[in-house]
Amino acid sequence: MRIAVAALGKIGLPLAVQFAGSGHEVVGIDVNAGLVDSVNAAREPFPGEAGLQEKLEAAISSGRLRATTRYADAIPDAEVVVVVVPLVVDDVTWEPDFSWMDAATASIAEHLRPGTLVIYETTLPVGTTRERWKPMLETRSGLIEGVDFDLVFSPERVFSGRIFSDLRRYPKLIGALSVGGAHRAKAFYESALSFDDRDDLARPNGVWDLGSAEAAEMAKLAETTYRDVNIGLANQFALFASDNGVDVYQVIEACNSQPYSHIHRPGIAVGGHCIPVYPRLYLSTDPDADIVRAARVFNASMPERLVARAEELLGSLHGLRTVVLGAAYRGGVKETAFSGVFPTVDALRSRGAAVRVHDPLYTDDELRDLGFDPYSFGDDVDVVIVQTDHPEYRDLAPAALPAVKLLVDGRAVTDAALWSGVPRIVIGTPSAKV
């Protein structure tokens, strides 16, 4: 098939490469000319995605993938259009900002031809495919959905860093606006993806038709919002455990030995493009979801809570040399989207602390571009806060952090045996004494 992929970001580019590797002819569209040039030169534009560079080189060299900045160069000849344009959520109002997606949809509609299958993979509030994209595509193209073209929602369900393995492991969910659209989407994904055998699923792994776009939209929001709510509960347990001399990790391990308990790990922050964002999308159409809102607010408060605990132990953080270990939102991924580093640094600065940041994946100049003063191991420091679970921090010892008075481990990754003699707060374990 001839496929157009709109937006070649950390999800869109691997998808385009996957489709090309399955034998389809793919044109990727992106407004970033530099990214387009990198793709056409077979240069991976962002690091950290397993297998992407090799698969990109193969797709470009085979002639099955190319990139462009022009919708007119990709949409008219496409049999399938896959849209992975980001949806922004306002950090204050929690309302979705559709401006990027609206612009992309308008450009697609302008060049849409009869017979095209249009699939949105960007996570959306329930009802968006039917109530927003369908009328916009119809009005701007003059075509009728279900007659002249088919419209489907199929959420991406992959994890940055392991996208190609996740595409095989997880069922591909689809929800169409018509029976014909569902049949076409199922056939397309079965031709573009392969699936691992899984005996833990209720039905065979593969393309699962949920019967409506709304069901597919809600499935993605539900699975991600569940994680945020679960982590909020784990964080609530962790703070209580710390105050009452209990190790919450032993408690969670014991609970999860029973098949109906699946408590997640607590942590200083919930970051990334998905987990802190999609509950807000859910709330945009279900404002009465008090449990969802409470968990999101509680998780967002964790950096402030842990910094406050450090202040309680030391009396004051004013003038102290503090270091936040980890700018990335999670270990091993060079990405700061909604990272806990930002509220952690803000909480320290608001108390008059001198704050520096370390991250093994970022250069000093990159950290400065993020608004941070970089830190190098060996420099004197008073307080250290572990914000990211990078593997490099697991064997960290006081010798690398001269003069350290307190370690706050917000990810429970450091080794207690290496910190003997230095006060250490670990989220979810009995509170340290200074």
Q: To 5 degrees, how large is the angle CA 35–CA 37–CA 38?
A: 65
The single residue of 55, 134, 172, 220 carrying the catalytic annotation is 220
What six digits make up the tokens of 255?
């609970």
Alpha-carbon gap, residue 253 to 309, rounded angstroms: 25
Under 8 Å CB-to-CB from 131, ≥6 apart: which residues?
Answer: none
Alpha-carbon gap, residue 115 to 69, rounded angstroms: 23
The single residue of 10, 55, 172, 274 carrying the catalytic annotation is 274
Phi-psi region of 254 (alpha: psi -120 to 50; beta: other; left: phi over 0): alpha
Under 8 Å CB-to-CB from 411, ≥6 apart: which residues?
Answer: 267, 268, 331, 386, 387, 388, 389, 393, 427
Strand partners, 325: 358, 386
Residue type, 288: D
* Catalytic-residue membership of 220: yes
What six digits make up the tokens of 278?
């999609």
* Catalytic-residue membership of 274: yes
Q: Which residues are catalytic?
A: 220, 274
